[in-house]
Amino acid sequence: MSPIIELAGAVIQAVYVVPGELCLGGYDAVLVVTQSQGTLWIEPLLDTEELRLQLRAKDTLPGTNTEQPDWAAALLGKKIVGQWAGPNQQGYDDLFALGLDAFVPTVLFTCISSQVQVGLVGYVKA
């Protein structure tokens, strides 16, 4: 995985995805556009099944094959408070998480079958 990019304090302005060519429900890339830090690109590394994180200029978007998924509406206007990454039990860096509006992981990005899968975490009182 790429070095962690400091995103704390950034506000999410838009989220785009590049649909996966394999039709497995994942994405070839997820782009998180912030108001101040630029665009975070989250992509799979096809040879290792890990995630690559890159911070690019805010106006750097791929061609016309991007979409704004329905789930992205839940992220818009949210402040990034924390971020997490780490290797799995086999040593692969295939998980990245953002904490939105609170210092707990609330959106997860993982690499499965050479695609980025996204999970939104809902916490309940136990």
pTM of the model: 0.88
Contact 78, 98 (CB under 8 A): no
Q: Given this model, what pLDDT does residue 23 score?
A: 65
Average pLDDT score, the chain: 88
Residue 58 counted as domain residue: yes
Mean pLDDT over 73-88 rounds to 92
pLDDT > 60? residue 72: yes
The total number of structural domains in the chain stands at: 1
In this prediction, residues 47-75 reach a mean pLDDT of: 85
Domain that holds residue 39: 12-120
Is 86 a member of any domain? Answer: yes
pLDDT (tens digit per residue) in 86-126: 888 888 889 999 999 999 999 999 998 889 999 999 888 87
* Alpha-carbon span 4 to 1, nearest angstrom: 8
- Alpha carbon distances (Å) from 75 to 45, 47, 68, 87, 93: 25, 30, 11, 25, 24
Three-class DSSP category at 29: strand
Does the residue 6 lie in any domain?
no
